[in-house]
Homo-oligomer: A and B are copies of this chain.
Amino acid sequence: MQTRFSVFKKLLVFVVIFSSSFLSAQEKTKEATWIWYPGDFEINLANQMQNRRTERDSFFPVFWKTDSPYNLVDFHKFFDLQAPEDVTIAVEGTYNIKIDGKALQGFPKKISMPAGKHKLSLKVYNQASVPAIFIDGKTIKSDNSWLVTYEDKEWIDETGKASDQSGTTWLQAGSWNLNQASLPPSKFALPVKKMEAVSHVKMGTETLYDFGKETFGFIQLNGLQGKGTVAIYYGESKEEALSKEHCETLDQIEVASNTPQDRIMELSKAFRYVLVAPSNGVEIASVMMWFEYADLKDKGSFTCSDAEINEIYDVAKYTFHLTSREFFIDGIKRDRWIWSGDAYQSYLMNYYLTNDSPTVERTLLALRGKDPVTAHINTIMDYTFYWFLGIYDYYQYSGDKTFIKQFYPRMQSLMEYCLSRRNENGMMQGLSGDWIFIDWAEGLSKKGEVSFEQLLLARSLEAMTVCAAIAGNEQDSAKYKDLGIQLKTKIFDKYWNPEKQALVHSYVDGKQTENVTRYANMFAIFFDYFNEEQKQQVKKSVLLNDKVQKIVTPYMRFYELESLCAMGEQDYVLKEMKEYWGGMLKLGATSFWEEYNPTKKGTEHLAMYGREFGKSLCHAWGASPIYLLGKYYLGVKPTAPGYSEYEIKPSLGGLQWMQGKVPTPNGEIEVYCSTKEIKVKAVEGEGKLIFESSAKPKSNSGTITALAKNKYQLIVKPNVEYKISYKAL
């Protein structure tokens, strides 16, 4: 009882904290902040991120087009001042300042705005980084209420008269939390903190340091002196750090100093172990690191009666934090790139843990880049579709329409790119330059019209139907709706095989293939594309059928387990979670992996891509228990955008009890559930608590309604603590 009660105490504390932080968030809109063309800081930061990868000390950039910020941006806002106001100005770039269209001389850092209604504009050129401004007066402050464009089209005629019909599109400025004039966008860096190795082993002149668990940051060599070199071999495993020939990342530095110096490595890296190997004549007093992190706060939580599940949740959380950096990236050792399919899972986990909207938006913007579209996102067809799905989910979880309104044109042009690449049957098929990824799975066919890709396109069209309407483009909305309906019909006509009781994998040369894979079938479940009968058939014929090729990546296990959860198989999934993620823990994992095939042995687990240590041992897609436990065990999900309405459908899945929090845009939903008692409390929105009970349940507040045999519902209002006594089935 103590534990359970303390949850609510904590919740209350949180509510207070949140309320005050909400107030200060409102005040923050009155604080000056650096602003830019929306998406441009994000694209620029992504370029830095995507070009930071090295492989064995070779620069290893991405292989798709990366875009640049607009280099010339116009900012403006109208002000109506009671009194003249002194305003300080910081700018990244060459700029002019205009008051009511009249330019001031030079590059003032301080101006005086006259009283009355006036327009303040700045035009900034910056080729090297992002044109950005920081404006700070008593009431005049730069924030996202300023309007921006990359083409103001302000021409004049021969008499000096300005054009009155420019046709320019103005967007709201982009901003984040860069609220100091002295810390402009170009200087942005993640915070770091000092960390020490937990142990080290001397091996001749070399030393192997163990930092105790997977970590990320900059190695620092202290008291470095002499003349020669130092090589640093990084390893996510001890084997990797000790393999000078095959470790994936390394540093080699020159030393020439008679006095001891401290030296920090230039690039941050992922490791648990590092082997530090000085050449003869070089001395190193000690080795430490600077842990680099994004400082995202946990708003969601989960604990339960099963210690192994709790450990899985904690390691998943750690994995998620390590891979949530400037952006949601794939893994920390190798790519550190922003991959749409990987990020899509991070968004979902984020909604149940950190609920950080800026990182979602930043990642979506970085992935999309700018027009023209010359390839699928990350070159991968499925990854393009996940991008649309990601925006749809973001709207569901955040309720934010501004993002969609601002970036609808980028959604539209990407969708048109996809539609223009359909074959003569109206289906997506890999064209030259299209990577059909689906999953890392041996022998998986990518030929012909793959059912999985059509399914993702259908879902993307549904997302576009909603987003076009939000952007005010009803014509597009109707068009995408029709296309989506047509495609869904086609999908079932083509791929549903009543004998196999499954969607088949593909159509090749005009014929249905014999191949059944899990992918399309499991997605069709949580997309709710099957009827009830089909769902049950698919569960048996595919999901629980060992003859269908097994999934060996946590990436697709995510969806496999989600589809089972969506059909109420929480008991089964809990066991699978313990076996699969628990399996990694038993092998000593301190973060979850890119791939885990339980049939492999020993160092086989470290290899991938034909390389001994190719596999990433800290991969975002490994952290899905965060999502599964929040959405399908605590059972919380929005049923209207931004949690204005939501559902709580707790499911113990065999646990004795569980408790946790799920973040909403302006607060949290707190759930406790044992076999006898359910407690919920929420800060906003209206929820439906839905549960099953073999006895008539009782509640301290609200009214319990019976929905069906043993099935009950209670309406959850904000800021009321509900306690329900019941009897789990």
| A residues neighboring B (CB under 8 Å) | 44, 47-48, 51, 55-66, 68-72, 94-96, 103-107, 123, 125, 127-129, 150-161, 163, 165-168, 252, 371-372, 374-375, 379, 413, 431-435, 440-442, 595, 608-611, 614
Contact = CB atoms under 8 A, between A and B. Distances in A.
Given A94-B51, A372-B372, A431-B167, A158 B59 contact: no
Nearest to A610: B160
B434 A58 contact: no
Q: Sort A-B residue pairs by CB-CB distance and give the 5 closest, nearest first.
A: A167-B433, A160-B610, A167-B432, A128-B128, A58-B103
Nearest to A434: B167
Contacts of A152: 63
A374 B70 CA distance: 13
Contact of A68 (B68, B105, B371, B614): B68
14 contacts: A55-B103, A58-B105, A59-B95, A60-B96, A61-B123, A68-B127, A128-B129, A153-B433, A153-B435, A155-B379, A158-B442, A166-B433, A167-B433, A168-B433
Given A128-B128, A167-B433, 10 more contacts: A57-B105, A60-B103, A61-B96, A127-B128, A127-B129, A151-B374, A158-B595, A159-B610, A160-B610, A163-B435
Contacts of A163: 435
A452 to B, nearest CB: 17
Contacts of A95: 59
How many identical subunits does the complex contain? 2
B609 A58 contact: no
A352 to B, nearest CB: 29
- Chain A binding surface, main DSSP class: loop
Contacts of A379: 151, 153, 155
Contacts of A157: 440
A65 B74 CA distance: 11
Given A59-B107, A155-B63, A155-B435, A71 B72 contact: no
A72 B57 contact: no
Contacts of A431: 167
Contacts of A614: 160
A150 B370 CA distance: 14
B123 A44 contact: no
Contacts of A57: 105-106
B68 A62 contact: no
A51 B106 contact: no
A442 B161 CA distance: 13
Contacts of A159: 609-610
A164 to B, nearest CB: 10
Contacts of A595: 158
Nearest to A151: B65
A595 B157 CA distance: 14
A411 to B, nearest CB: 15
Given A96-B59, A151-B63, A166 B432 contact: yes
A554 to B, nearest CB: 14
A153 B63 contact: yes
A56 to B, nearest CB: 6
Contact of A433 (B68, B103, B165, B375): B165
Nearest to A370: B372
A171 to B, nearest CB: 13
